[in-house]
A and B are shown apart, each in its own frame.
With several copies, the nearest count.
Chain A
């Protein structure tokens, strides 16, 4: 059966170059980078080389990069660490209603520990308004954490404007750039953020490794793991050296190819969006029509439910998702779509198609061929009024 992978926002295949580098590493260079001896120094060298690559990819200096076990850890570490060190200064945190669970659940947990939380609404495109951020700021605000691009609907947020607002008020700013990194160009300078999260497995790198950028001078403290003195006391635990090497390589390649990839992806995406929304009735694009990730198409199909569409697509070899990989396993409709004002029953019928570097126009054609009959079959089964 033809297999088409359309779920690149959930995870990506490891690029062959990255896998090769990691494998060579797994087999040969195994030292613990903390060790003083030859084996340790060899490993240390590679960790620092990877740190330079990651730093270069986002316009940071190597000392500002801390390696973690992934995007979730980076988000937790960023938010908790800023909250803990600033708790005598203020207790107000601003975030948005469409953040990844790694951010929103962390902020909500702090809300139960004496912090005051503002969860900003979004417009119908999933966009946070800079004015709303400005209006929410109080003299107790210590942290603004708003994602760079949304994983479910692909909307790109005005982080640059929010970042400079935060800076002008002396408030620490974090952004989760897990989805935008490697897909749209940016630097931490340009965005004006103090902390920024990335994850390896979303950029054709390995799972189980990520990084947190912490701008020099940011008031932040390590507050998740206690243990050894790794990562200059910013993250305890033996470094995932092959993972870090893979992340470094993946980051380097992602930036090198960003421009050409983006053009390729946009061509596929635009055709997909155009054809789906014109050929199938009662379909809507979710997320912003233009301020969106180049590889991201997401829709709602009325009268039918997301999982049954996904299963039907899967039976035809197409891997898509309905929102985030996390919510695929749950029963509630996406908090992102609800925050955008999409009614429950329509939010249940969401599908996300996220393209990647190996996808072709033939993949799009195949999807366009199989999707209409799937929709028709399920709609024929639906008890909902369809006029």
Chain B
């Protein structure tokens, strides 16, 4: 049911883990519904220098988390903000219809992390 690309990201997820003292953190989902994604950002000069994730969820959830981190690493925040769930799914060669919402989660977690970074910047 999953594409080779999905399985590759599931088996060898990129950027798993946490960043100590991150510049931004985003978390979406909750354990009751069975999916949680957490994304950590390190930002320098408006560019995402480093990104890591932790995910509790299905295979698609793990693969989309991995893919989204790969897609934004080295990108400017403006570029990163343009990443939609559709783009994530496409980058993985597609997802089964039932699993499209998993890609939502990944994009949402990223947006949340960027928002968190921006909020923190404002407060400075």
In the assembled complex, which residues on chain B have CB atoms less than 8 Å from the CB atom of A384? 31, 36, 56
Judge if A217 is at the interface, Cβ distance under 8 Å.
no
A306 to B55, CA, bound (A): 13
In the assembled complex, which residues on chain A have CB atoms less than 8 Å from the CB atom of B11? 315
Q: Is the CB–CB distance between B10 and A308 below 8 Å?
A: yes
In the assembled complex, which residues on chain B have CB atoms less than 8 Å from the CB atom of A311? 2, 7, 10, 59
Smallest CB–CB gap between B116 and chain A, Å?
Answer: 15
Judge if B27 is at the interface, Cβ distance under 8 Å.
yes
Q: Looking at the complex, which one of A36, A344, A383 makes contact with B55 (CB distance below 8 Å)?
A: A383
A41, A331, A333, A384, most chain B CB atoms within 10 A? A331
Which B residue sits closest to A333, measured CB to CB?
B34
A384 to B34, CA, bound (A): 11
Smallest CB–CB gap between A337 and chain B, Å?
Answer: 12
What 1/0 flags go to A292-319 for Cβ under 8 Å of B? 0000000000011111100100010000
A41 to B54, CA, bound (A): 28
Q: Is the CB–CB distance between A383 and B36 below 8 Å?
A: yes
Q: Is the CB–CB distance between B1 and A36 below 8 Å?
A: yes
In the assembled complex, which residues on chain A have CB atoms less than 8 Å from the CB atom of B32? 343-345
In the assembled complex, which residues on chain B have CB atoms less than 8 Å from the CB atom of A36? 1
Mark out the residues of chain A between 331 and 352 whose CB falls within 8 Å of any chain B CB in the assembled complex. 331, 333, 343-345, 348
In the assembled complex, which residues on chain A have CB atoms less than 8 Å from the CB atom of B34? 305, 331, 333, 344-345, 348
Q: Is the CB–CB distance between B10 and A348 below 8 Å?
A: no
Q: Answer whether A381 and B16 are a contact pair too, CB < 8 Å, given A305-B34, A307-B58, A308-B10.
A: yes
Q: Is the CB–CB distance between B98 and A383 below 8 Å?
A: no
A304 to B54, CA, bound (A): 11
What DSSP secondary structure best describes chain B's contact surface? Answer: mixed
In the assembled complex, which residues on chain A have CB atoms less than 8 Å from the CB atom of B2? 311
In the assembled complex, which residues on chain A have CB atoms less than 8 Å from the CB atom of B57? 305, 308
Q: Is the CB–CB distance between B55 and A382 below 8 Å?
A: yes
In the assembled complex, which residues on chain B have CB atoms less than 8 Å from the CB atom of A308? 10, 57-59, 61-62
Smallest CB–CB gap between B20 and chain A, Å?
Answer: 15
A344 to B57, CA, bound (A): 13
Q: Is the CB–CB distance between B56 and A383 below 8 Å?
A: yes
Q: Answer whether A381 and B62 are a contact pair too, CB < 8 Å, given A304-B56, A308-B57.
A: yes
Mark out the residues of chain A between 351 and 383 whose CB falls within 8 Å of any chain B CB in the assembled complex. 380-383
Judge if A329 is at the interface, Cβ distance under 8 Å.
yes
Judge if B13 is at the interface, Cβ distance under 8 Å.
yes
Q: Is the CB–CB distance between A303 and B56 below 8 Å?
A: yes
Q: Answer whether A307 and B56 are a contact pair too, CB < 8 Å, given A315-B11, A381-B13.
A: no
A343 to B101, CA, bound (A): 22
A109 to B37, CA, bound (A): 37
Q: Is the CB–CB distance between A381 and B59 below 8 Å?
A: no
Which B residue sits closest to A44, measured CB to CB?
B1
Q: Answer whether A41 and B36 are a contact pair too, CB < 8 Å, given A304-B56, A308-B57.
A: no
Which B residue sits closest to A306, measured CB to CB?
B58
Judge if B38 is at the interface, Cβ distance under 8 Å.
yes
A129 to B54, CA, bound (A): 42
A306, A311, A329, A343, most chain B CB atoms within 10 A? A311
A344 to B37, CA, bound (A): 17
Q: Answer whether A380 and B16 are a contact pair too, CB < 8 Å, given A307-B58, A308-B62.
A: yes
Smallest CB–CB gap between A313 and chain B, Å?
Answer: 12
In the assembled complex, which residues on chain B have CB atoms less than 8 Å from the CB atom of A303? 56
In the assembled complex, which residues on chain A have CB atoms less than 8 Å from the CB atom of B7? 311, 315
In the assembled complex, which residues on chain A have CB atoms less than 8 Å from the CB atom of B35? 305
A44, A315, A330, A383, most chain B CB atoms within 10 A? A383
Q: Looking at the complex, which one of A330, A380, A383 makes contact with B38 (CB distance below 8 Å)?
A: A383
Q: Looking at the complex, which one of B13, B37, B101 makes contact with A383 (CB distance below 8 Å)?
A: B37
A380 to B38, CA, bound (A): 13
In the assembled complex, which residues on chain B have CB atoms less than 8 Å from the CB atom of A41? 1
Smallest CB–CB gap between A317 and chain B, Å?
Answer: 14
A383 to B11, CA, bound (A): 18
Sample (12) of A-B pairs whose CB atoms are under 8 Å apart: A44-B1, A307-B59, A308-B10, A333-B34, A345-B34, A348-B34, A380-B16, A381-B16, A381-B54, A383-B55, A383-B56, A384-B36
A residues engaging B (CB < 8 A)? 36, 41, 44, 303-308, 311, 315, 329-331, 333, 343-345, 348, 380-384
7 closest Cβ pairs, A-B complex: A345-B31, A383-B54, A307-B58, A348-B34, A344-B32, A383-B38, A311-B59
For the complex with contacts A41-B1, A311-B2, A311-B7, 7 further pairs of A-B residues with Cβ separation under 8 Å are A315-B11, A344-B33, A344-B34, A345-B31, A348-B34, A381-B13, A383-B55
